[in-house]
Amino acid sequence: MDAKLINPFINATTNVLETMAFIKSVPGKPYLKKDDVAKGDVTGVIGITGETNGTIAVTFEEGCILKIVSNMFGEEMTTLNSEVADAVGELTNMISGQARRELEGLGMVFEAAIPSVVSGRSHSITHYTDGPKIAIPFTTDGGKFTIEVCLEK
């Protein structure tokens, strides 16, 4: 997959987390993900259509998302609950939106669906296309999370 399709998602992720949760996130090396097992405890998934079709998934380890949501809400969150799930969906939506704006600047227009949220240890992430799944791991001072971008060829 072309880096010009991946970089907007990296940029959007670091920007959204710094702006909304005052969290600095450091991207690791992208890799080709071979399975559907989530690398965390709660995942936001959003479908996109347009230039090509695909899905974006953002999976957080429990400690990481609790720190992020605590910062967003200004109160300590200690358990994965419906408020945290809603925040994961909203973060996924914001990351997708910023990435799509950057891609639009490159002449590629995408529309997004409404995000869904899946949680539980070792849950599966279903990507609705058969394109390559590029995973980008991130680290924060609260834990780790991973973005997956899966676009049709």
Q: Which amino acid, one-letter code, is at 80?
A: L
**Structure-token pair, residue 78:** 């200690």
pLDDT tens column, 53-96: 999 999 999 999 999 999 999 999 999 999 999 999 999 999 99
pLDDT tens column, 18-64: 999 999 999 999 999 999 999 899 999 999 999 889 999 999 999 99
Q: Return the residue matching tokens 């230039």.
A: 51
In which band, very low, low, confident or very high, does the pLDDT at 145 lie, cut at 50, 70 and 90?
Answer: very high
**Does 2 or 25 have the greater pLDDT score?**
25
The whole-number average pLDDT for the span 126-135 is 89
> Is residue 3's pLDDT more than 80?
no
> Is residue 150's pLDDT more than 70?
yes
Q: At 110, is the secondary structure helix, strand, or coil?
A: strand
In which band, very low, low, confident or very high, does the pLDDT at 127 lie, cut at 50, 70 and 90?
Answer: confident
User: pTM of the full predicted structure?
Assistant: 0.94
The whole-number average pLDDT for the span 123-131 is 88
> Is residue 135's pLDDT more than 90?
yes
- Chain length of the chain: 153
The superfamily (CATH) of domain 3-151 is CheC-like (3.40.1550.10)
What ranges make up the beta strands (E) of the chain?
26-27, 31-33, 42-50, 54-60, 110-112, 116-119, 133-140, 143-151
**Which pLDDT belongs to residue 1?**
55
